[in-house]
């Protein structure tokens, strides 16, 4: 299936160049663990607390042998997940200027679903904004602008290149770990201007260690400027609820990023398991 949006920049040359980042073979897992008590928006139910565990024994099973299996219900925008372009609309249109009613159906998206997202095997960059500002965790009224991103990149001696994936650390994983409700009520995050600056330099995706990537201060908790810029205007994927603490602790700012999105037909998003390799 043909790549769309910034994903068109993921050429074999970009992949090969990213693979050369690996020198030690150390792997960092960047996803939060899924469980029934994770932070989740109030208008989106979390993983059901009544997971059904069954012991299945087929006719060919020998005595004492069987399979344990389960049924899990969960919203697709749960935990560490990636947003499809069709997830967000602006002025009633999704990416490409298509009216939202043309792509949305009772069976999900007829186009721009997460099944169109290619494997993400490319160079990743960590923008540790919290460390740059000398704090463990940014306050919720902090809006990360273009100047901040440029300053962090300069300090880390990295430059954004076409095909990269930019990961933004705010330090809010600490609230995730504590199951602090403030995590899903407000947050520091990127401005639309900063997202556009990254998009203009060819990033394929932008991820962050918070619930919406956007700057959502108490005065504007539902701000989605970054969603509009990335998903509806520029064709840049969004990855939310990352765990970037280990990368930050080791001061790893450049790495091979690997994530294979689940090909859920027509899905507006789905949990993802990204890793960084150095």
pTM to 2 decimal places: 0.94
Tokens of residue 138, six digits: 């940014």
Where do we find the tokens 């900063």? 194
Q: What is the pLDDT of residues 170-213, one digit of tens each?
A: 999 999 999 999 999 999 999 999 999 999 999 999 999 999 99
What are 189's strand-pairing partners? 143
| Cα(152)–Cα(141) distance, integer angstroms | 19
Residues 23-32 pLDDT 10s: 999 999 999 9
Where along the chain do its domains lie?
5-43+75-277
What single-letter DSSP state applies at residue 19?
Answer: H
Q: Are strands 269-271 and 237-240 parallel, antiparallel or unpaired?
A: unpaired
Q: What is the pLDDT of residues 102-154, one digit of tens each?
A: 999 999 999 999 999 999 999 999 999 999 999 999 999 999 999 999 999 99
Q: What's the topology of domain 5-43+75-277?
A: Glucose Oxidase; domain 1 (3.50.30)
Token pair 């520029």 is at which residue? 234
d(CA 192, CA 146): 9
Q: In this predicted structure, what is the pLDDT of residue 20?
A: 96
Average pLDDT rounded to a whole number, residues 151-169: 97
Whole-number pLDDT of residue 47: 62
| 107 C-beta neighbours (distance < 10 Å), count | 8
Condensed to tens digits (0 to 9), the pLDDT of residues 59-86 reads 666 777 878 787 888 899 999 999 999 9
CA atoms of 93 and 277, how far apart (whole Å):
37
């Amino acid at each position: 299936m043909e790549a769309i949006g910034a994903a068109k920049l993921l050429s074999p040359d970009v992949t090969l160049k990213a693979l050369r980042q690996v020198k030690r073979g150390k792997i960092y897992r960047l996803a939060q663990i899924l469980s029934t008590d994770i932070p989740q928006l109030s208008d989106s139910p979390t993983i059901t607390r009544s997971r059904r565990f069954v012991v299945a024994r087929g006719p060919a099973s020998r005595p004492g042998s069987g399979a344990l299996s389960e049924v899990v219900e969960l919203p697709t925008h749960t935990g560490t997940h990636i947003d499809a372009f069709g997830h967000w609309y602006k002025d009633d249109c999704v990416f490409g200027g298509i009216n939202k009613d043309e792509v949305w159906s009772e069976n999900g998206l007829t186009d721009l679903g997460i099944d169109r997202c290619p494997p993400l095997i490319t160079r990743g960059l960590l923008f540790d904004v919290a460390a740059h500002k000398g704090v463990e965790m940014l306050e919720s009224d902090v809006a990360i602008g273009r100047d901040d991103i440029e300053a962090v990149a300069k300090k880390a001696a990295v430059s954004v290149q076409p095909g990269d994936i930019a990961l933004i650390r705010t330090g809010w994983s600490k609230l995730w770990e504590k199951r602090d409700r403030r995590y899903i009520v407000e947050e520091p995050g990127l401005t639309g201007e900063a997202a556009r600056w990254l998009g203009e330099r060819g990033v394929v995706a932008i991820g962050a260690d918070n619930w919406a990537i956007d700057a959502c201060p108490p005065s504007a908790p539902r701000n989605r400027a970054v969603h509009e810029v990335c998903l509806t205007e520029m064709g840049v994927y969004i990855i939310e609820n990352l765990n970037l603490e280990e990368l930050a602790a080791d001061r790893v700012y450049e790495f091979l990023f690997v994530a294979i999105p689940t090909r859920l037909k027509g899905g507006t998003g789905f949990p993802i398991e990204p890793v960084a390799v150095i």
